[in-house]
Amino acid sequence: MTPLDDAVVLVRAVRGLYDGDAAALGVLDELDRRLHEPLRVAIAGIVKAGKSTLLNALLGERIAPTDAGECTRVVTWYRYADTPSITLHPREGQPRRLPVRRVHGQLALDLAGLPPEDIDRIDIGWPSRVLRSVILIDTPGIASLSRDVSARSAAFLAPDDAPSSADAIVYLLRHLHPSDVRFLEAFRDTAAGASRTVNAVAVLSRADEIGSGRIDSLLSAGKVALRYERDGGLASLALGVIPVAGLLAEGARTLREAEFAAFRELAALDRADREGLLTSADRFVRPSDVVTLGEQERRDLLARFGIYGVRLATSLVRAGATDSSELADRLVQHSGLQDLSGFIQRQFESRATTLKVRGVLDTLERLLRGTPRDGSTPILAGIERIQATAHSLRELSVLSQARVTGLPLPAAEAADAVRIIGGDGTAPAARLALSVGADDAEVRARVALELDRWRATSQSPLTERAAREVCRVVIRSLEEVASEVGGAGGDGPAADVVLAGGPGDGGGEGAHHQGEQHQSGLGGEDLTQQHASVPATHQL
């Protein structure tokens, strides 16, 4: 059985202990949904960091409201649906279906006369391909002038008495501020639980502003991001810092033919006229007779792309972008959005099952310890066994250790260990530092070399116990890669498979990678056993 199967069984077992307790059963219903739905990725950050703009860019549609209206003060979930729908969930009373209306492309969210503080969340169903594999959650601004607004985000993402409702977080910042660090610390402590896993990525969301809108602005932003990542206190709180020109990304993903025609006209201007017009945002919107574009058209371009985007789009058309599709693709490439999307896929979506199971187990444990029932002891033991033996959870724990305190290995070996356990992504090529197109024979050959190396390190009398435990996690990761490509990686000594002093591994764990990528068919008919069978006989 996979860790997800085990978690489903545990939720069912706990349900039997709380029969008749409406509050507890509501929590368990939510956990069951969490296990079977896509990964929850929250987008958070300070006010005006560009959260809704980035969400629109990720979706490829301008549906999330980006103004400062009341709807931006409510936690809003975006899920996949065959047809658009909007459901408002008040803190008291039944959910309400709202009309789906768009104004200037964006959804017009009607709060049905309720103040934001009386609304728990808004659920938006949307037929977006992106939402098939992830639920995106837009949250109110952190460090808002309104305490209530900030409190709503904190209560959802980093509650004091419960795990976070999000599995991972994309945290937007304009400049590193103490409030950013405090919030990420709170999220790590609540979302990660005892594992202390780092499951956040920081985004310099208005990266073009760092370079004052110059064509090379993202290069400047990249240097700032690297400095924040290494020296700014974010190393233990985020897996990376990625510069993104959010406004440009949104504009590129929703580029219109009329906008392409406007950029083509700007590109065709005489050099002196073009450079004079693009000197600054103010100069761009002043009355001018060098272009046929009216002042309002230029203001609209500026609002959609920023001065950086206008300059870049004009330059790309001059460089050969011949139609709107080609220009849109090139603008996206220059926006940093692809780097962020790839990061989310490699670090979060590829570990979807692991991240969800970790959050569910933490919630179950809090429930059982907070309101104990007869029969809870064996279930708590089952939770501890999954946490101790599920290799995917051990990988996350070691990755967190690497970010927070460092690994007890020489620097070069520590970097290799982080890569092998998935620090650069969970695909075999990423783990083994091979090219993306590496075939199975290359993978098997590299795995064999790495297994020999790490087993020798693990068994060396000079290797300390803490380092040996890290080696064992690395070895198990290599063995699972070997099993994926049909290699014989599991012929090492048994001690290489389990943590020293830890319980033995349960059967079926090696299949967990399939569960990470595909969630259909999980929790099937073999999971109908009652909670009474869980205690000592069920091998979690």
| 91-113 per-position pLDDT tens digit | 898 999 999 988 877 788 878 78
Q: What confidence tens digit (pLDDT) does each residue in 382-395 have?
A: 998 888 878 888 88
- Is the torsion defined by CA of 18, 20, 21, 24 positive or negative? positive
pLDDT band at residue 319 using 50, 70 and 90 as cut-offs: very high
Q: Which fold has domain 19-245+338-348?
A: Rossmann fold (3.40.50)
10 Å CB burial of residue 495 (0-12, 13-18, 19+) is: middle
Q: Which of 23-37, 193-207, 277-291, 491-505 has the lowest mean pLDDT?
A: 491-505
Return the axis-axis angle of helices 352-370 and 391-404, rounded to nearest 10°: 90
Confidence (pLDDT) at 410: 95
| Model confidence pLDDT, tens digit, residues 441-487 | 999 999 999 999 999 999 999 999 999 999 999 999 999 999 988 76
What is the rounded average pLDDT of the residues 39-56? 90
pLDDT-based confidence at 374, cuts 50/70/90? very high
Q: Which of 160, 169, 155, 158 is nearest to 201 (CA)?
A: 169
Q: Which helix (H) or strand (E) holds 123?
A: strand 119-126
Q: Is the pLDDT of residue 143 over 80?
A: no
Q: What is the pLDDT of residue 184?
A: 82
| 409-414 average pLDDT score | 95
* Candidate from 33-47, 172-186, 515-529 with smallest mean pLDDT: 515-529
Query: Looking at residues 300-329, what average pLDDT do you find?
Result: 96
DSSP assignment of 281-316 equals HHHHHS--SS-S--HHHHHHHHHHHHHHHHHHHHHH
Residue 206 scores a pLDDT above 50: yes
Does residue 514 register a pLDDT over 60?
Answer: no
Choice between 352 and 111, residue whose per-residue pLDDT is larger:
352
pTM: 0.80
Residues for the chain: how many in total? 540
Greatest mean pLDDT among 245-254, 348-357, 399-408 = 245-254
Share of the chain above pLDDT 70, in %: 83
Q: What is the pLDDT of residue 442?
A: 94
Query: Residue 254: its pLDDT value, please?
Result: 93
Taking residues 438-443, what's their average pLDDT? Answer: 92
pLDDT for residue 504: 33
Q: Which residues pair with 41 in a beta bridge?
A: 136, 168
Span 69-89, pLDDT tens digits: 666 788 999 999 999 999 999
The ranges assigned to domains in the chain are: 19-245+338-348, 255-335, 373-525
CB 487 within 8 A of CB 444: yes
Q: Of 365, 379, 348, 354, which is closest to residue 162 (Cα–Cα)?
A: 365
Beta strand pairing status for 106-107 and 102-103? Answer: antiparallel
Question: What letter would DSSP give residue 46?
Answer: B
Asked if pLDDT for residue 67 goes beyond 90, the answer is no
Q: How far apart are CA 115 and CA 532, in angstroms?
A: 46
The pLDDT of residue 68 is 56
- 493 or 275, higher pLDDT: 275
| DSSP SS3 for 488 | coil
State which H helix or E strand residue 169 sits in: strand 168-173
Specify the amino acid at residue 349.
Answer: E
Among 142-156, 364-378, 517-531, where is mean pLDDT lowest?
A: 517-531
Determine how β-strand 134-138 pairs with β-strand 39-45: parallel
pLDDT the model gives residue 430: 92
Q: Give the best-scoring range by mean pLDDT among 105-109, 160-164, 285-289.
A: 285-289
Half-sphere exposure of 125 (CA within 13 A, CB side): 11
Higher pLDDT residue, 523 or 413? Answer: 413
39-45 and 76-80: which strand pairing? Answer: unpaired
Q: How confident is the model at residue 144 (pLDDT cuts 50, 70, 90)?
A: low
Structure tokens at 361: 């187990």
Q: Has residue 438 got a pLDDT over 70? A: yes
Ordered DSSP codes for 226-255: HHHHHHSS-TTT-S-EEE-BHHHHHHHHT-
- Kindly tell me the burial class for residue 380, based on how many C-beta atoms sit within 10 Å of its own C-beta (0-12, 13-18, 19 or more): middle
- 38, 352 in Cβ contact below 8 A? yes
**Residue 400's pLDDT is what?**
79
Q: Please, which pLDDT band fits residue 191 given cuts at 50, 70 and 90?
A: low
Q: Give the H or E element holding residue 103.
A: strand 102-103
pLDDT-derived band at 227, boundaries 50, 70, 90: confident
CA atoms of 334 and 470, how far apart (whole Å): 38
Answer whether 391's CB lies under 8 Å from 403's CB: no
* 511, 2 Cβ separation under 8 angstroms: yes
pLDDT over 80 (residue 239): yes
Most distant CA pair in the chain: distance in Å? 83
Q: Considering the chain, what is the average pLDDT of its residues?
A: 83
Residue 233, by phi and psi: left (phi above 0), alpha (psi -120 to 50) or beta?
left
